[in-house]
Structure 1
């Protein structure tokens, strides 16, 4: 049988592994969501773009000078709004993780003080 210190060390190691696994899963999920959003926005830009002769081929800035550039503007506004939402969600997740970590540290300090008394 393990002594108490060894069991606590093993539990902490499993907690770190689970936290790392969860963070990796969150990062992969966010990356997949960003790639999906990028693909959807590219398809939307292609669908809204009107085929026609432009002054400079391959230059999207000149496309906005045309009168039928509403689709590009719509896609830009939607992509900016999506980026803002994703950023806000990431900040909320980070704050929540800090709060959980702070509560765990507070609990650990309290236990340490009880042991020393």
Structure 2
């Protein structure tokens, strides 16, 4: 049989392990979501791009001077919005983790 201090230490260790697993699961989920979003955006760029733009393949800046660049602009705006959402989510997650660590430190003392 373990004494109370040993049991408390084991419980705290298991909580840390479960928290670490949950964080890694979140990281894997975000990575998968980013890859899926990337694949969808690549397909969207292919669908929206006009096939007659062969004259400006070498100079991508010249493509923006053409009239039918709506697909590229749409993909750029959606990419930016997705990046902002992921950044805000990660910032909030980090803030919550710091608050939890601070709470744990306060409880231990």
TM-score (norm 2): 0.89
Structure 2 unmatched ranges of 5 or more: none
Distance 1:94 1:67, change over 3 A: same
User: What's 1:61 paired with?
Assistant: 61
Hey, what does 1:78 align to over in structure 2? 78
Tell me: CA distance 1:23–1:58, structure 2 relative to 1, closer, same or farther (3 Å): farther
In the aligned structure 1, how far is the partner of 2:91 from the partner of 2:99?
12
2:3 corresponds to which residue? 3
Cα distance in 2, alignment partners of residues 60 and 42 from structure 1: 16
Please give the TM-score of this superposition, normalised by the length of structure 1: 0.84
Question: 1 or 2 for the larger relative contact order (CA 8 Å, sep ≥6)?
Answer: 2
**Deviation string, structure 1 residues 66-96 (Cα, Å, up to 9, x no partner):** 2211110111011101100110011011111
Contact conserved, 1:54 with 1:62, CA < 8 A, in 2?
Answer: no
**Residue in 2 that maps onto 1:39:** 39
- 1:55 is paired with a residue whose SS is helix
Aligned length: 109
What's the C-alpha RMSD, in Å, of the aligned pairs?
1.5
